[in-house]
Structure 1
Amino acid sequence: MFTIKNTIHYNIPDAHIEISNHLKKYINENTIIVCIGTDKFIGDCLGPLVGTYLKDQKCSLPIYGTIESPIHALNIHKELDKIKALHPNSNNNILGVDASLGHGESIGTICIRNEPIYPGRGVGKVLPKVGKASIVGIIDDSEDTTFFSNRSIRLHFVMEMAKVIASSIIYSIDFDSK
């Protein structure tokens, strides 16, 4: 079971500012952002969308996992090895970003956690953990076992959550540099 540090709904006014206030203890100039997921399933594209938005906004931190180059179950081992080779002292500075399942009433919340992401856990996969801290967006109900094939998740919803997460990270970086 994970520890939720803070949970904020993506569509409250100034959600990105509230989230960034919680993120600033996990982000500094040595932080690496690793966004997990795939663009092949709407429900799982939150991480790559965040990575893409961060790159589009010229984020000053290293970003891995975008729509163009996603990090997913089939390549996660290779990609994490590559990140470790490029950033050998990064283990304690990785912030993971991923979509997750949760209780129905938590859909739309963004959770800032003081522990890693365990990709694939919600769908029964065993993959390596990512990060020391994490941001997770709850995009669907864990009672629905058809997560990857669920056609009821709207892309617009996932995009809006991704924009809030990316804005929160950028705001945290800007806050840290002041």
Structure 2
Amino acid sequence: MTQWPKTSPKQEPTCLKIPHTDPEIHSAIIHRLLFHLSQAGENQQVIVVCIGTDRSTGDCLGPLVGTALARYKSPWFHLFGTLDEPVHAVNLQETLSSIYSLYDNPFVIGIDACLGQSSSVGCIQVANGPLKPGAGVHKELPPVGDIHLTGIVNVGGFMEYFVLQNTRLSLVMRLSEIIASSLHSAIKEWKARTTLFARLE
């Protein structure tokens, strides 16, 4: 569970933050992901790490995204974190160590649920840099990702574990579907572009 930092209204936005009800949400997320994926080298392996547990309704966003992505059987990225094999607080460090030993200079995309202000519940965020899993429930865990996506599933600031357990599954499912389909489309398009450019050189 990631905690999203509060920013001053005077600061320039450092990420995309969009309500899941926005009719343009898929194209907006894909566009922003393509911008961030342009940072990755042509030969870098893309690794998607979906963090969370199916033992908590609010914290199952990551495993739901991972399970949805696994159905694509995509050759364009490697996936860690599903409902059957979740990545959570207990095995996160081990999983990251395994990733960086198996893949040379991977481009990692972190995915996690997030608590935030009531007005932001239901928003999806795409941002540069790593996410900080566990911060929302006051756990010290290693940062994850060159870029990351988070879904704000409920209100933060008090009784976080209780709030997570009482999060509506329908919202978490909707967020996971949007994140999975948009991420798959973005990686597929990015790979097609890099392959085309390589052939033209």
TM-score by length of 1: 0.91
Give the Cα separation in 2 of the matches to 1:40 and 1:88. Answer: 33
Q: 1:131 to 1:148 in 2, by over 3 A?
A: farther
Question: Which SS does the other structure have where 2:142 is aligned?
Answer: coil
Q: 1:20 to 1:84 in 2, by over 3 A?
A: same
Q: 2:100 aligns with which of 84, 96, 100?
A: 84
Unaligned runs of 5+ in 2: 7-12, 194-201
> Displacement of 1:121 after TM fit?
0.5
Count how many residue pairs are aligned between Structure 1 and Structure 2. Answer: 176
Unaligned runs of 5+ in 1: none
Q: Bigger shift: 29-38 or 116-125?
A: 29-38
Counterpart residue number, 2:145 = 131
Quote the sequence identity (%): 37
Answer whether contact 2:56 2:165 (CA < 8 A) is retained: no
Question: Which SS does the other structure have where 2:152 is aligned?
Answer: strand
Compute the RMSD of aligned alpha carbons: 1.8
Report the AA paired with residue 52 of structure 1.
T
Report the AA paired with residue 156 of structure 2.
S
> Displacement of 1:150 after TM fit?
4.1
TM-score by length of 2: 0.81
Question: Which SS does the other structure have where 2:23 is aligned?
Answer: coil
Give the Cα separation in 2 of the matches to 1:4 and 1:140. Answer: 21
> Displacement of 1:21 after TM fit?
0.5
Q: 1:54 to 1:151 in 2, by over 3 A?
A: same
Give the Cα separation in 2 of the matches to 1:149 and 1:165. Answer: 22
Q: Which consecutive aligned stretches of 4+ in structure 1 deviate over 6 angstroms post-superposition?
A: none
> Displacement of 1:152 after TM fit?
3.0
The reply on whether 1:18 has 2:28 as its aligned counterpart is yes
Answer whether contact 2:16 2:32 (CA < 8 A) is retained: yes
